[in-house]
Structure 1
Amino acid sequence: MQRTAILGTLFLAVCWACHPDHATRYKAWSDYGGGPDHSKYVDYKQITRENVNQLEIAFVYPTGDNVNYRFNPVIVDGVMYVLAKNNSLVAIDAATGKELWIHANLRGIIQRGVNFWQRKDRKEKRLLICLNNTLQAIDANTGKSITTFGKGGYVDLKQGLDRDPATFGRATSTTPGKVFEDLIILGSAPGENLFSGPGHLRAYNVITGELVWVFHTIPHPGEYGYDTWPAEAYKYVGGTNTWGEISVDEDRGIAYFPIGSPTYDYDGSDRAGSNLFGNCILALDARTGKRLWHFQTVHHDIWDYDLTAAPQLITVNHGGKKIDAVAVASKHGFLFVFDRVTGKPLWPIEERPVPASDMPNETAWPTQPFPTVVPPFNRQLVTVDDINPYFPPADKAKWTARVAAAKNGLFHPLSDQYEVVTNPGAVGGANFGNTAADPKNGIVYVQTQELVDFYSLKKRESAPQRGGPGFGGGRNSGVSPERLAQGKALYMQHCQACHGENRAGIDGLGATLINLSTKVNAEAFKGIMAVGKGRMPGFPHLTETEIAAIYAYVTPEAQRGPGGRGNRDDDRVELPDGPVVASGGVPVDLPPSGGQRMTDYPSAYTGPRSEYVETNNWGLGVPNLLTPPWSLIVAYDLNEGKIKWKIPLGNDDSIPGSNNLSMPNGSQGKGMVVTSTGLLFSTCLDGRVYAYNTDDGSMLWSAELGRSNPGGLPAMYEVDGRQYLVVCSVGSLKDKSKAESDVPKGYIVYALPKKEK
């Protein structure tokens, strides 16, 4: 039996090495998440388990501003592309940090990363960016916009969604998408409120900007899945989008999409049915957009259990055969594993009965899928015995009583008569950035957090009004006293606890918002509020009008009035120091984004209406309700379908005497790097970067970054035979006795000491 296993392993290794392009695969970090498969895996040999503790800072590229970036650098041919200096795209020498060019003032650019493309001769190189509802191309050699791309240098992403663009707000993806051959494949983040835009998946030509294909995630008449919705739901349901991370099998030309939940997340009265392709892992032909297979991980989602983390493409030895598989981790703590080509589960997934809803017009789906062999990576039940032992007695008694009174379980429908408690909640489990793999050995790594949600519903006061002044309503659009009053009330409810009564920020919780408009324009603010940034969570259920009101309140310096300058940023063209070659992207001629939003169902609609909203704050009031650990890294051996090891991620230094206790919210938006030498690097909310042994999860090295909450995914690359690890560290100071100038703030690059010649 042992001999068979050894022969099988050798067979896999030989086949892997002989496959075309595998000899050079995983030798560059040329894409968001490392490469097309999003494994975050590199095949470099210099840094090993034996010498990792010798890593030292090679150089720091300072961001030169107060923006809390969460950017994953891209490194190609010795050049690193980063976001810095008030949302400028900067090319630097990847071995020294020397600036090569700066494209300044890209306010509104998505801040997680960019897409890189180059011709086979490696001469023409392009960066594809999403900026304020447009797709643009920048010459990676010169830093200048490519004006032949699209219409005058841009593609309007609000076009081609089969609805009047004026009736919805955001159409920009919040993650970079994926480049495959000459295509850029994009998802979107239209928001999650009632009547948000649809989450079509699209592919554009990287040279011309031409739209090549569209896939309707809310099916149109005659399309597969149309009968899983009410008739013509595609006219009013939104979301059902990929705001997370796309993975691509280059060899087969298959793109794998984690799909989010339909709108409205918590009240599905107006969308009876299972609602394909909501909450699906969806495999499409990357060249044509044709559906190949899908699996729905939640039917008729009314808990916001959307998929966001990158599907991991692995090769496993399953049943004595080599299988190319895909594994997708969910918010609710499951890891689903399928044959990458056929979509067949590697192990049975059972449909099990779940509770019915007691809400009027809500028809909860009677069963939900449960993996039977692969264990969950989170606790999925909250009991009174799980209450945090570090709570003071009064707090522990309060939370114990609340848990005891609530309905419990992953799939208990929400109600306006009682609370439902669940773990992990809508912002727990695995989220963007939280998966990685050793592809050839069938190992998948999941960063996860245990963040309890208390859910309940209340009657919607009125249809969500959208549009009006505040988001691009024109240079002369004022802000009424009523709007400012609304913004102040919303700020006090959602923002003040972290950013302070005077907007100056609170150490360790939230950054200053004073002079925010000089760093973040109104369009970018919408995206941040939708999906969060750094430690800050997203607030996807705030309407655009509500977000506009908050922006108006927190940016008094930008509002037009006596001595004011309006709330648009195109008249502020301050340039950073350095080799600036361009500013602001291409000139864009788009209609104002503040138009007449969709506020009601189509006139012919006669079915039930979504009338309830979720009332709680997505677990944010109780980030460490449970016994620790609160965040973890879980390693799965998917040759066997078992957890190989599980370790706490980080340490909560605020608890005296704690050691490797983990951090509440520690994995939210963080990332990993996996090496062929048996190392796993990870960032954490506690302001450290760690290196673990992939065999057993033991910690081999850690480094203090000096700042809490390092943002974005780390990256690893090699230049002239020297291997580097880069971490974006721009959070608040951990040690308040130090001066800002004493602690590096920017992209911190580690390497082994140079050998003396």
Structure 2
Amino acid sequence: MFTTLMSIILMVIGLALGGGGIWLAWLGGSWFFIALGLALLACAFLLWTRRPAALALYAATLVVTLAWSVWEVGLDWWALSARGTLLVIIGIVLMIPPVVRSLHPQGMPRRRYGLPSAALAASIVIAGLVAAFAVREQPHDTAGAFSDERMQQSPVIKTAGVPDGEWQAYGRTPYGRRYSPLGQITPDNVADLQVAWHYQTGQVRNADTDPVETTYEVTPLVVADTMYVCTPFSTVIALDPVTGEEKWRFDPLLKQPPTATTQHMTCRGVSYFDGASDAARAALTDTGSAATGAGAGPIAADTTETAAAPAAAGTPQATETPAGEARLADESAAGVTTEAAGVAENVVTGQAAPSAPNPRVEREPASVPAAAPGADCIRRIFVPTSDGRLISISAETGEICPGFGGEDGTVNLWANMPNITPGSAYSTSPPVVTARAVIVGGTVNDNASTTSPSGVIRAYDVYTGELLWNFDSKKPDQTAPIAEGETYSENAPNSWSVSSYDPELNLVYLPMGNQSPDQYGGNRSAEVEAISSSVIALDADTGELRWTYQTVHHDLWDMDVPAQPSLIDLTIDGAAVPALVQPTKQGEIFVLDRRTGEPILPVTEAPAPAGAVEGDTTAPTQPISTISFNPKPLTEASMWGATPLDTLYCRIRFNQLNYEGRYTPPSERGTIVYPGNFGTFNWGGVAVDPERQVMFAMPVYLAFTSQMIKRPDDTTRVVTAEGQPVFNENLGSPFAAKMGTFTSPTGLPCQQPPWGYVAGVDLTSGKTVYQHVNGTVRDLAPVPLPFEMGVPGIGGPIVTKGGVAFLSGTLDYYVRGYDLQTGAEIWRSRLPAGGQATPATYLGRDGRQYLVVVAGGHGSTGTKAGDSIIAYALPN
């Protein structure tokens, strides 16, 4: 009976592999699966007829498959496993006594073990030896280390006045480095870290009512012995950073709850402003600000101690880079056209644009402590909300600061915005705060309609909330505050991620996205083409465009610039050069002179595939940086799965889809996008050490697919059902888009692992010094097996003067510590939920260095939701 069952199993597998193999060969792929299927069918027949030759034939099949696998992928354990593990398991089952005893010629006595079973045993041993050797190999790792001399460098660095023990901005300072000068935690003692406290916010994603992309991505701020965090629902909480006790809580009571058109619910952080700082005093004195809000009086009265105002950036000379992409304001503004903006109804829903939300925040009397206006608002927290508000609250008490936009302490971000529907435009990242202004970008829902709201970037007076300037990327030379009754350009490219600021140059650096749709560019204007998928520098006082550097030409892959630029001074040829390090989704790390936007490390232009859909074009070349994490191109041999069956499925899909390497344009047939729009790097960015001039990063590799669907008209749904959000419908465009991950029916990636790494780069030379597979599949597989396969992640790393890097963004639930010199993992701690946020570190009043991690999960990645904020420290 058992032998009959095994023969049926082999017959089914053989039919599937043989039939699929014929399909694969017809598509131009490997013929091996036809031979494998026929061999398994022959084994099934011999088992059915109880012939010992079944074992010998199976042994030969196993050995041939092993040889073919090693020929295709070498001694790569996970690649070999996909081809052979199932076959080895079946071979072991065929060796058990009930099967062997049943195999005998008709009329002959049953035999136990003989030459056929010995041959099968030998083939299994051979496979085991190859596997044991392959497991020890690390074909995807690059071993290396920064020199001891490099690790001991300790020059004086710019800190923008942020004390060593504090974390005052998303990247600790406005430079966006994610570097801490604290050195108490080192590679020698990091293993002693223990939980100091664990706080839960009480606000957790509801899978039934909240959008899928309700994500907890906050990086806590620590200022003046207080920690500030926000939740995905824009609630701001102040904690004691040593005990984790709650000090106060501010709930904005969202006026627009999540709706079908809400794509994201997240808060990456809040922003801090100190009105008593030297820069703020100087700015107030220089501008003669008419600030009348809380806190303005005490600052204006004290004019005896002022610092020099930040130096304004000089106007650079127009220069073309080798890649032809560093543009100055006078170039990029040429040929600007104006467009009629604003419509009464939105084509996405047919609804009239809603009135602006009531900016008045009404809270229960006991929700936060009572506070008197005035001195309490000298130090402020700015929080953007998902219903289109920017709110100023006291850093001392959590009470609203009257006078910022009105007595309600609120600026309406939907003002002058075209085509607003609930959930269509909001800010998910903390704004940039200068001595004079709070500068806000925002998220616009991707790929819903060509009549999306504007991606305008705006600056407001830090005290009064008065609009100082607006940068509309369709009208880059018109930065004066928009007139009452006018609207910004619809569907203008936006800046949704975190920005950086250089106080000395007085430039704010913004990563830019695209206008919708992401996958079709036939209707983009010259202004849009110049700004899309670029990093730009704006004058922080006027919003004037100083320069732009484009990272992808004519982007058709949603490769918007996703990460905060990191500002660092690099020693190049013996001279200090003010640099900007810009990570990108496609894996390029551009190192630019932040004064002019010209590359410091060389950039070349490489030919790119052609073949856009009707009405569109492709760029003939794309920029390649000296620092590039562009993965090796996919091949049929790099297709993967848990068994030969899903591996065969992925091979068939690979041959069905268009793929000519990175930048293969979207097509009606379907295209593999690799790296996918999840990004080699995303909003978590990279960490740069300004003393050692090195970078620590988490490159991720996942392939996606895109298929263009021709639309019959501007409004009919073609990729979504009625009642669902219209994301990827691209209403108003000639094509909708079907987007997805490149996976097998089992949900596993079709590309073989690893899918995630950590890497260390010398920023002065552009050399990748080490790159190591990072992360386990413990929380991704049905069975929690801690296999080190290198998993994807989203979130960013931090680095410290102590020589330790920290990262919690992988899709397994751990926070890890790494030796910055070698990249080796030297500590890990289990988290209660997904840790898709960037950590922070600070010095407590007890003299201990703390590491703080948020574990709340990420809806798009499927990690467990939570509400935990956990602090670690060395023992007292």
Note the 1:115-264 alignment, pairs <5 A. Answer: 115-120=271-276, 124-131=378-385, 132-151=387-406, 152-161=408-417, 164=418, 166=420, 170-193=424-447, 194-219=450-475, 238-264=491-517
- 1:31 deviates by 1.4
SS of equivalent to 2:453: coil
8 A Cα contact 2:696 2:799, kept in partner: no
SS of equivalent to 2:529: coil
SS of equivalent to 1:456: strand
Alignment match, 2:236: 89
The structure-2 alpha-carbon separation of the partners of 1:215 and 1:104, relative to structure 1 and needing over 3 Å to count, comes to closer
Matched, 1:613 2:869: no
Alignment match, 1:383: 635
Report the RMSD for the aligned CA atoms in angstroms: 3.2
- 1:239 deviates by 4.5
Query: Which residue of 854, 858, 861 corresponds with 1:728?
Result: 854
8 A Cα contact 1:125 1:139, kept in partner: yes
- 1:656 deviates by 7.8
Instruction: In structure 1, give the amino acid aligned to 2:737.
Output: E
- 1:364 deviates by 2.1
- In the aligned structure 1, how far is the partner of 2:488 from the partner of 2:398? 40
8 A Cα contact 1:195 1:236, kept in partner: no
Note the 1:559-708 alignment, pairs <5 A. Answer: 610-619=733-742, 624-653=749-778, 654=781, 659-663=787-791, 666-668=792-794, 670-683=795-808, 684-705=810-831, 707-708=832-833
Matched, 1:77 2:205: no
Instruction: In structure 2, give the amino acid aligned to 1:197.
Output: P
- 1:269 deviates by 1.7
- 1:24 deviates by 5.3
- In the aligned structure 2, how far is the partner of 1:43 from the partner of 1:240? 36
- 1:540 deviates by 5.2
Alignment match, 2:682: 431
Matched, 1:454 2:579: no
Q: Deviations over 1:383-406 (max 9, x none)?
A: 112223x52211100111211232
- 1:54 deviates by 0.5
SS of equivalent to 1:276: helix
Instruction: In structure 1, give the amino acid aligned to 2:194.
Output: E
- 1:220 deviates by 5.8
8 A Cα contact 2:472 2:488, kept in partner: no
- In the aligned structure 2, how far is the partner of 1:262 from the partner of 1:77? 41
Q: Which has the higher contact order (CA 8 A, sep 6+)?
A: 1
Moved more, 313-322 or 672-681: 313-322
The structure richer in strand per residue is 1
Q: Deviations over 1:53-99 (max 9, x none)?
A: 11111111122343363322111111112235975322121111222
8 A Cα contact 1:90 1:102, kept in partner: yes
SS of equivalent to 1:61: strand
Alignment match, 2:198: 60
Alignment match, 2:615: 361
8 A Cα contact 2:232 2:266, kept in partner: no
Larger radius of gyration: 2
- In the aligned structure 1, how far is the partner of 2:228 from the partner of 2:509? 26
8 A Cα contact 2:431 2:441, kept in partner: yes
The structure-2 alpha-carbon separation of the partners of 1:691 and 1:400, relative to structure 1 and needing over 3 Å to count, comes to same
Instruction: In structure 2, give the amino acid aligned to 1:198.
Output: S
TM norm structure 1: 0.72
- In the aligned structure 1, how far is the partner of 2:508 from the partner of 2:188? 37
8 A Cα contact 1:90 1:103, kept in partner: yes
Moved more, 422-431 or 63-72: 63-72
Alignment match, 2:728: 541
Identity percentage of aligned residues: 30
The structure-2 alpha-carbon separation of the partners of 1:303 and 1:687, relative to structure 1 and needing over 3 Å to count, comes to same
Instruction: In structure 2, give the amino acid aligned to 1:486.
Output: E
Query: Which residue of 141, 164, 167 corresponds with 1:29?
Result: 167
SS of equivalent to 2:426: coil
Q: Deviations over 1:583-636 (max 9, x none)?
A: xxxxxxxxxxxxxxxx76xxxxxxxxx300211225477663222211122221
Q: Deviations over 1:131-166 (max 9, x none)?
A: 2111111111111112321034221112245xx455
The structure richer in helix per residue is 2
Query: Which residue of 841, 844, 848 corresponds with 1:719?
Result: 844
- 1:218 deviates by 2.1
8 A Cα contact 1:237 1:263, kept in partner: no
Query: Which residue of 526, 548, 572 corresponds with 1:318?
Result: 572
The structure-2 alpha-carbon separation of the partners of 1:694 and 1:401, relative to structure 1 and needing over 3 Å to count, comes to same
Alignment match, 1:486: 722
- In the aligned structure 2, how far is the partner of 1:457 from the partner of 1:165? 25
Alignment match, 2:861: none
- In the aligned structure 2, how far is the partner of 1:65 from the partner of 1:337? 39
Alignment match, 2:185: 47
Instruction: In structure 2, give the amino acid aligned to 1:119.
Output: G
Instruction: Specify every segment of 5 or more residues in structure 1 that has no aligned partner in the other structure, as ranges.
Output: 224-233, 467-483, 491-528, 530-538, 544-598, 601-609, 733-739
| Count of aligned pairs between the two proteins | 588
SS of equivalent to 2:739: coil
Q: Deviations over 1:453-509 (max 9, x none)?
A: 12221112542589xxxxxxxxxxxxxxxxx9833xx4xxxxxxxxxxxxxxxxxxx
The structure-2 alpha-carbon separation of the partners of 1:250 and 1:647, relative to structure 1 and needing over 3 Å to count, comes to farther
8 A Cα contact 1:63 1:746, kept in partner: yes
SS of equivalent to 2:470: strand
- 1:432 deviates by 0.5
Alignment match, 2:870: 748
Instruction: In structure 1, give the amino acid aligned to 2:498.
Output: E
- In the aligned structure 2, how far is the partner of 1:657 from the partner of 1:710? 19
8 A Cα contact 1:115 1:176, kept in partner: yes
SS of equivalent to 1:645: strand
SS of equivalent to 1:379: coil
Q: Deviations over 1:346-380 (max 9, x none)?
A: 23322333233352211222222222x32x22415
- 1:431 deviates by 0.5
The structure-2 alpha-carbon separation of the partners of 1:26 and 1:252, relative to structure 1 and needing over 3 Å to count, comes to farther
Moved more, 692-701 or 332-341: 332-341
- In the aligned structure 1, how far is the partner of 2:191 from the partner of 2:539? 44
- In the aligned structure 1, how far is the partner of 2:741 from the partner of 2:395? 40
SS of equivalent to 1:440: coil
Query: Which residue of 553, 556, 563 corresponds with 1:299?
Result: 553
Moved over 6 A (4+): 8-12
8 A Cα contact 1:133 1:170, kept in partner: no
